[in-house]
Amino acid sequence: MFKSILHLYSLLTPKQQFNLKVLQLLMIVSALLEIISIASVGPFIMLAVNNNILQENEIFKILANIIGTTTYNGFLIKLGTITLLIFVISSVISIFTLWRLNLYCHKIGAEISIKLFKYYIYQSWLYHTQNTSNVIFTKLISECQRLTNNITYPILFMNSKIILCLCMLIAILVYKPIIVLITVIFASVFYFIFYSLFKFRLKKFGQLVSSSQKNIFNIVSESFGGIKDVLFLGKQKKFIREFDKNYLTFGRSVGTAAALGQIPKYILELLGYGSVILIIIYIISFEDKNFINYLPILSVYALAGLKLLPAFQAIYSCVSGIKSNIQAFEVLKEDISKSKYELIESQDDKDLPQINSKIELKDISFAYPNKKNLILSNFNLSLPIKKVIGIVGETGSGKSTLIDIILGLIEPQSGGLYLDGKKLLNKQKRAWQNQIGVVPQNIFLMNKSIKENIAFELDPKTIDEEKIFNALKLSRLDKFVSTLPNGINTIVGERGVQLSGGQCQRVGIARALYNDPEFLLFDEATSSLDGITEKLIMDAIQDFSGNKSIIIITHRLSTIKICDNIFLIENGKVVDEGSYSTLIKNNDKFKKMAAEDN
C-alpha cells in the first residue's frame, strides 16, 4: 500500500508537489496552534480555581504586569480573553487548512480525470476496439472518484493528524515522558493488531468494489442501450437480478470496509475515557486534599486526549480506507503514468498538398493485436479521384480494415497510404481526415438538435446554419425538416430515436457533407434500409458524382451499379476489378453475390 502511495506522489506534477509542500507547512502551523491553545487552558484553570496564585506564583505576577493589571478579577478576565483568542485563531487556521486540503485533493482528482479523459479520447481506434466504453466510463467516473475521495484525501488528512499527534506528543513528552511512551505504545499496538487482523479483508473488499462497479456500468449500459429488445423479450427480471446482485456486493463491500474503519474508535474511547474517570476517582478517594492541584494538569490532559484519541482513530480510519480502495489506484496508475507522456493532439491541415490524380494503398499488411492471421497481406489498390468507386466483398474479406486504414484510424504493420505518389505522414492525418466525409452503416446521433448532429458540435454558437441548409438540401432531407415545428432545432432523441432509419441515414449524409469534403466514403450505408429509402440515398450519391471522389463499400451489389469502377476483395486481396457489367459477365463470384442480393 505504501509503495502505491509513493507511486501516486511520483505521478504528481512539479506544481502539485510544490503545493503539497506548502499545504504540509500549513498543517504544521495548524498543529502547533492547536497545542498552544490546549496548553493555554492549564494556566487559566489554575488561576480560576486558586485566587491566591497571583500573589504566590512569580510567573503569574510577570504575566499580570505584561498584561497591565494587578487585580485578580481583571487578570482572570484578560487571561481568559487571551486563551479564547488563541482558540479562535487556532480554529480559524484549522478551518482554513481543512478548506485548502479539500480544495487541493479535489483539484488533483479533477486534473487526473481531465488528463485521463484527454488520454482516452486521443487513443487510436485499435485501443478502443480492445477497451470497451464501459471500462473507460468506470475508470473516469467511479475509480477517479474513489482515488480522490478515498485515497488522496485520506492520505493528506491522515498526514495532518500524524503531524498533530507528533507535535502534541512531543509537547507532553517534555512534561511527562512516561505518559507519552505508554500512550504511543498502547495506541500503536492496539491499532496494529486490529489492522493486521483485517487488512486482507479490506483489500478483498476493495477488489470487490472495483469489479462490482464495472459490472454495474455494463448492466446499465446494456439494459438501457438495448431497451427495445429487453422489453420485447421480457428480460427485465434477469437484468434486475444481475443489477441487484452486483449492487448488493458493492454495498456490502463498502459498508463492511467503512465499519471496520470505525470499530476501534469506540473501543479506544472506552479505554481512554475510562482511564481518566478511574484516575479522578483515585485522586478523590486517596488524595482528596490535593485534588485542586491536579485539576489544571488534568484539564490539559483531558483536552489533549480529546484531540489525540480522534486523531489516532482518524489515522487508522484513513489507513483502512486507503487499503480498501487502493485497488482504484492500481486500476488507474498505468493510464495516469502514460497520460503524462503519450498525449498526441491532432495536427493542422496546412501541410497537405492538393490531390490531383489518385489515392493508393501500397504493400499494405495488417493483423490485429494478439492475432496471427493477416487481414490484409501485401495489399495494393489505386483509386482515381472524382470517380465513383465500389469496393465489394463478403463478410470477413477485409473491407472494414481497409476502410479504417484509408481513414487513418489504424496503422498497417507495413506499407502505407499514398496521395499522388507521396506517402501520407502521421502529422498529415488530421488534414487528410478533414477532407473525408464518412457515412457509416450505423449513424451515431446525440440527444441534441438536428443542426447540432449535422455539424457534430457541442456549442450551437459555432454552427454555420447556411452550411446546415446546404447539407440538408444535398442529402434530400430539407423537405422533411421544413415540416417539423422546430425545423433544424428539433431534438432527435437519444441515438435518433425520434427519426426513422432512413432519416437517420440522411442526417449522416448531411453530416458528411457539412464541411464540403473532397472525398465521400459510404460504409455499408444502405445495407439496413428498405428499397425506397435506399433509392433516395443512391439518388443523392449520384448527384455528387463527377464533383467529388466517392467510395462505396458494401456487400449489397445493387448499390454499386452507378460505380465507374468496382474492386472485388477476397481474403484480404483484390481478386478482380471492372465495371458492374464487366464483372457480372466475367466473374463467377461476383455473379453469385449479385444473384444472392436479388
Check which CATH number belongs to the domain holding 556 and give it: 3.40.50.300
Do 458 and 335 sit in the same domain of this protein? no
Q: Tell me the pTM.
A: 0.76
User: Residue 571 half-sphere exposure, CB side, CA atoms within 13 Å?
Assistant: 3
Rounded to whole angstroms, the Cα distance separating 568 from 54 reads 107
List of residues 6+ apart from 194 with CB closer than 8 A: 263, 264, 316
Does one domain contain both 372 and 335? no
Q: Is residue 540 part of a domain?
A: yes
Find the DSSP H helices in 490-530. Answer: 501-513
C-alpha 105/C-alpha 19 separation (Å) is 11
**Cell numbers placing 355:** 490531390
Count of Cβ atoms closer than 10 Å to residue 420 Cβ: 13
Measured CA to CA, the distance from residue 29 to residue 51 in angstroms comes to 34
Residue 207 is assigned to a structural domain of this protein: yes
Helix 291-339 and helix 72-121: axis angle, to 10°? 20
Strands 388-392 and 549-554: parallel
Cα angle, residue 480 at apex, residues 479 and 482 outer, rounded to 5°: 65
As beta bridge partners, residue 520 has 437, 550
HSE-up of residue 553 (Cα within 13 Å, Cβ side): 23
CB neighbour list of residue 237: distance below 8 Å, 6 or more residues apart: none
Whether 408 and 327 map to the same domain: the answer is no
Which of 558, 539, 235, 564 is CA-nearest to residue 385?
A: 564
Q: Are residues 126 and 259 located together in one domain of the fold?
A: yes
The three three-digit cell numbers of residue 311, written as one number: 486523531
Q: Which residue range(s) make up the domain with 475?
A: 358-596
Count CA atoms within 13 Å of residue 103 on its CB side.
8
Residue of 212, 299, 296 whose CA lies nearest to 254: 212
Nearest-CA neighbor of 157 among 91, 104, 93? 104
Angle at 508 between CA 502 and CA 509, to 5 degrees: 90
Residue 323, in any domain of the structure = yes
Of 307, 340, 373, the last residue of a domain is 340
**Together in a domain, 110 and 189:** yes
Residue 563 CA, chain-centre distance (Å), reads 46
Tell me the CATH number at 222: 1.20.1560.10
* Residue written as grid cell 500503536: 188
One domain, residues 267 and 371: no
Q: Is residue 312 domain-shared with residue 369, that is, in the same domain?
A: no
Question: Cell numbers 494587578 correspond to what residue?
Answer: 70
3-state secondary structure 130-197: HCCHHHHHHHHHHHHHHHHHHHHHHHHHHHHHHHHHHHHHHHHHHHCHHHHHHHHHHHHHHHHHHHHH
**163 domain residue, yes or no:** yes
- Which among 4, 256, 343 is positioned nearest to 147, based on CA atoms? 4
**What is the signed CA dihedral for 232, 234, 240, 243, rounded to 10 degrees?**
-50
Residue where one domain finishes, among candidates 310, 340, 370: 340
Our CA angle for 299, 297, 270, nearest 5°, is 55
Under 8 Å between Cβ of 569 and 390 = no
Confirm whether 346 is domain-assigned. no
Decide: helix, strand or coil at residue 153: helix
Q: Cell numbers 481568559 correspond to what residue?
A: 80
If asked whether residues 313 and 366 sit together in one domain, one would say no
Q: What is the pLDDT of residues 134-171, one digit of tens each?
A: 888 888 888 888 888 888 888 888 888 888 888 777 77
Residues 110 and 78 in one domain: yes
Q: Provide the pLDDT for residue 96.
A: 92
Dig out the grid coordinates for 439 from the structure.
Answer: 457515412
C-alpha 190/C-alpha 167 separation (Å) is: 21
Is residue 552 a contact partner of residue 390, using CB atoms and an 8 Å limit?
Answer: yes
In a domain? residue 426: yes
Exposed, middle or buried by CB within 10 Å (0-12, 13-18, 19+), for 466? exposed
| Residue closest to 565 by CA, chosen among 577, 557, 556, 576 | 577
Residues 325 and 434 in one domain: no
The pLDDT, as a whole number, for residue 397 is 78
Residue 88: the pLDDT is 92
Residue 328 near residue 150, CB atoms below 8 Å? yes
Tell whether 323 and 392 lie within a shared domain: no
- Looking at 340, 370, 389, the residue that finishes a domain is 340
Contact 418, 492 (CB under 8 A): no
User: Does one domain contain both 24 and 128?
Assistant: yes
Query: Which residue ranges in the chain fall short of pLDDT 70?
Result: 1, 174-176, 179-180, 183, 228, 232, 269, 272-273, 275-276, 279-280, 282-307, 340-351, 525-534, 536-537, 597-598
Please give the Cα distance from 405 to 412 (Å, whole number): 7
Query: Rounded to 10 degrees, what is the CA torsion of 95, 98, 100, 101?
Result: 170
Is 353 inside any structural domain? no
Within-domain flag for 347 = no
**Domain count along the chain:** 2
